[in-house]
A and B are shown apart, each in its own frame.
Chain A
Amino acid sequence: MSTLTDPPKDSFRLSMLINDTRYRSLTFQALAFLALALSFMYLGNNLIANLRAAGLNINFGFLTDTAGYDISQKLVEYSNQDSHSRAAFVGLLNTILVAVLACVTATVFGVIAGVLRLSNNWLVSKLMAFYVEIFRNIPVLIWIIIIFTIMTAVMPAPRAFRGDNATATMVFDAFAFTNRGIYTPLPWFANGIFESQALNWLLVLVVACGSWFAARRVNVWATAKQEATGERPNTLPMLLGIWLAPFLILMLIMGLTWEYPALKGFNFQGGIKIGGPLIALWFALSIYTGAFIAENVRAGIQAVSKGQTEAAAALGLRPSKVMNLVVLPQALRIIIPPLISQYLNITKNSSLAIAVGYADITATLGGITLNQTGRAIECVLLLMAFYLTASLLISLVMNVYNASVKLKER
C-alpha cells in the first residue's frame, strides 16, 4: 500500500519560484509590486527632473505670504491682508458648509422621491420617475449654471427695490429676494449674558441640549409606565413645556432683537445674506444627488421581502405605519452603503463652485492662490490632501453609523 507522505522537503531551488505553485503567486506579486514601485519612481523622478530643468522647486513657503485678494463669503474673519493659508481656510469652511447643507437636503429630497416613486398613485410615481431621470442624466455642472442663470435673470437686482416706483418689494419688510442672494433678519441679543454673541448662542445650544435630555427622561418614564400599566400617559404638554419654557425665558432675559436688512447704497445692508452662488450650488447639488439617492431608497425598499409588508398588513398596520415601522428600518441597512458614495460625490462635486463664483477651497487655494503664486503643484497637492481627508472622514462616520444599524448577527 502506498501511503501519503509529506511533500518532499528538499532544499529550496530558484526554479521553484516559477514552477512550484506554493511560491509562484508570491513571485508574481513581488514582480507586480516592483513594477508598480518603479513606475511611481519614474514619474516622481521625471517630475523632479523637469522641475529642475525649468528652474522650479516644490516649496510651501508661499502659504504664509499675504493673499492680497478678497473673498465675498467668509465664515471667519478674513481680510486681503491675511495669508494664503488663511484664505485657503476660509475656502475650506465654505466647502464644508455647502457640502453639509447639500448632504442634508439631498437626503430629504431623495427619501421623499424614492418612497413616492413606489406610490400606487400613477401620477405621483410617474412624476418622481420623471424627476429622477431628468436630474441624474444631465451633468451637475449644467444644473448649477442653469439654476444660477435663472436666479440672476428672474430675481430683481437690489436697485429694483429703490425709489417710489420700485418694481420689487421686500416680503414682510424683512426678507429681500434679490439676484445677489436672499437677505433675512439677523437675530441678536441686546443684553446678552456674555459679551460675545457667539458665546450667547452657545448658551442657547447648551439649554437646548438640557431640554433634549429632559425630554428623553420623560419619554423613558412614559414607556416604563406604559409597560407597567398598559397605558401611555399623555406627555405632549410636558414635552412642550420642557422645550419651550427655558428657551423663551432665556430669550427674554438676553433681549432677543432682530436686525432687519435695509437697502443702503448699492446693496442691502444688515441682516443675514445667503449669497446667490451658495443657493444655486446648494440647490443644484441637492436636487441632482437627490435623484441618485431616490434610486438607492427605491432599491432598498424593494429589496425588503414582500412577506414583511404582507405580514405587517395582516397585523392591521396602516400603510404609512408599515412603511415607517417595518419596511424603512430594514431598507436602511441596504440604503446606507450606497448613500456614503453619494455623500462623497456631493463633497467632490462642490468643487464645481467656481462656475458660479462661490469661494470654496478649489476657488481660493486651487484658483486665485494658485494663479497669483504660480505654485500649481503645491496647491493641487494640498487640494488632493484635503478632499482625500474629507472623503475618508465622511466614509468613517457613515461606516460607523452603518455598523450600528446593520443586521446584528448573534
Chain B
Amino acid sequence: MKKSVFFGAMTVAGLAAGAAAAATLDDVKSRGKLNCGVSTGLAGFSAPDANGEWTGFDVAVCRAVAAAVLGDGNAVEFIPTTAKTRFTALASGEIDMLARNTTWTFSRDVDLKFDFVGVNYYDGQGFMVPKELGVSSAKELDGATVCIQTGTTTELNLADFFRTNNISYEPVPIETNAEAQQQYLAGSCDVYTTDASGLAATRATFDAPDAHVVLPEIISKEPLGPLVRHGDNGWGDVVRWTMQALVAAEELGVTSANLAEMSGGTNNPEINRLLGSEGTLGEMLGLDADFGAKAIAAGGNYGELFAKNIGEDTPIGLARGLNALWTEGGLQYAPPFR
C-alpha cells in the first residue's frame, strides 16, 4: 500500500511540474524578472554593447514585454542561446520567451509545440561574397564552398536552392555567427549565407565592408519573430499584444517623445485604449491598464526601434522594405486595439 501512495505522489508531482509551467505570466511576476532568450551576438539585433548592456532590435522586444509586465524595461535576464540550444531552452522553461531572429515555420509552430506570436522582421536568406570573386548572381556559385550556421532553416533552403538550380556546393556548418565570420574572412569559404539582415549586420562589423557584396537573390521567406511555449495562451497573448502595441503606436503616431503627453488622454479613442486611459484592455491580459504605454516607453514605437537599431542611419543600414507599415507599402499591420 505504501508503494502505491508513493507512486501516486510521484505522478501528482510530475503532473504538477507540467501544470506549473503553464502560468508563465505569474512566474514572471513573482520572479520580478523576465528570462528572455536572445542570440549569442548579432550586431543590431541582439548583442551586448561596450558596457555589457544588451541592445538591439530583438532585445527591444524583450524590454518592451518586461516593461509591460513588470513596469521596468531593465528587469530582463538575457540568456544567450545558439541556433541549436534555443528550442530546448524555451521548451524546458529556462526562458519565458525567445526573441532571436527565429523563422516562423509550420513544423516549429505545430510539431515542436511553440507559438509564434507575430513577425517583428520580414526577412529572406541571401548570400554574401567577396567582391574580388566577381560573382554577380547566386546561380554562378557552382562548386563554391559555403559557410552556414548550423541548426537553422538556412541549411535546408540552401540545399533546395542548389538542387533546383542543378549546381553543386560544399557546405561548411558553423556553430555561431562569430566563427562563421572568421572562416569567411580567412577565405576558407567563398560564400556566407544567412538571413539578409544577418548578412548586413555581419558585414557592418568587417574592417572593409565595401569589399563584400550581398548577392541580389533572396532564396527564401524568413518571417522572424518572438515565440513562446504552446499551451500557455495567456502568456502568448501578453507577448503578442505587447509587440502589436509597438506597431500600433507607430501607426497612430505615438512616439517616445509625445508618449507622456498622449498618455493623459487624447481625442482619439484608439490611442486612449492603447495607452490605457480608456477601456480595460490591460486588465483582460492580467496587466496594468497602461501596459501599452510602458512598453512604448521602454524604447519607442516599432519605427523608432527599427531606426535606432538596424535602420539606414546605423552601421547595419537596413531599409524598411517589407517591414514598413502597411500604409507605406510594407507588411507591418497591427490588429485593432479594442
Contact = CB atoms under 8 A, between A and B. Distances in A.
Interface in B155-170: 155-156, 158-160, 162-163, 169-170
Interface of B: 6-7, 10-11, 13-15, 17-19, 21, 83-84, 87-88, 91, 107-108, 111-113, 132-133, 141-145, 150-152, 155-156, 158-160, 162-163, 169-175, 182-183, 186-190, 229-231
Interface in A17-56: 38, 41-42, 45-46, 48-50, 52-56
A354 B173 contact: yes
16 contacts: A45-B7, A49-B17, A53-B19, A54-B18, A55-B230, A68-B155, A68-B159, A70-B171, A72-B171, A81-B163, A153-B186, A265-B144, A354-B150, A371-B83, A373-B111, A374-B87
A265 B143 contact: yes
Contacts of A367: 84, 150-151, 173
Contacts of B155: 68-70, 368, 372
Contacts of A217: none
A183 to B, nearest CB: 13
A152 interface: yes
Given A45-B14, A52-B18, A373-B111, 11 more contacts: A46-B14, A50-B14, A55-B230, A56-B113, A68-B156, A157-B186, A267-B144, A267-B170, A357-B172, A374-B108, A374-B111
Contacts of A70: 155, 158-159, 162, 169, 171
Contacts of B132: 159
A49 B20 CA distance: 13
B186 A269 contact: no
Contacts of B13: 46
Contact of A357 (B14, B159, B173): B173
A309 to B, nearest CB: 50
B6 A38 contact: yes
Contacts of B112: 374
Nearest to B91: A54
B65 to A, nearest CB: 22
Q: Indicate the size class of the contact surface on chain A.
A: 35 or more
A118 to B, nearest CB: 41
Interface of A: 38, 41-42, 45-46, 48-50, 52-56, 68-72, 80-81, 149, 152-153, 157-160, 179-180, 264-267, 269, 276-277, 354-355, 357, 359, 363, 367-368, 370-374, 376
Most chain A CB atoms below 10 A, which of B141, B159, B170, B182? B170
A-B interface, 6 closest residue pairs, ranked by CB to CB distance from nearest: A53-B18, A157-B187, A49-B14, A371-B151, A80-B159, A265-B143
Contact of A368 (B15, B111, B144, B150): B150
Given A42-B10, A49-B17, A54 B231 contact: yes
Contact of A179 (B7, B143, B187): B187
A266 B143 CA distance: 6
Contacts of B172: 72, 277, 357
A20 to B, nearest CB: 24
B10 A179 contact: no
A80 B158 CA distance: 10
Given A49-B17, A50-B18, A374-B107, A368 B173 contact: yes
A56 B87 CA distance: 14
Nearest to A371: B151
A180 B184 CA distance: 11
A157 B188 contact: yes
A42 B190 CA distance: 52
Contacts of B84: 367, 370-371
A144 B335 CA distance: 51
A336 to B, nearest CB: 37
A46 B17 contact: yes
A81 B162 CA distance: 12
A372 B143 contact: no
Contacts of B183: 152, 357
Contacts of A80: 159, 163
A266 B230 contact: no
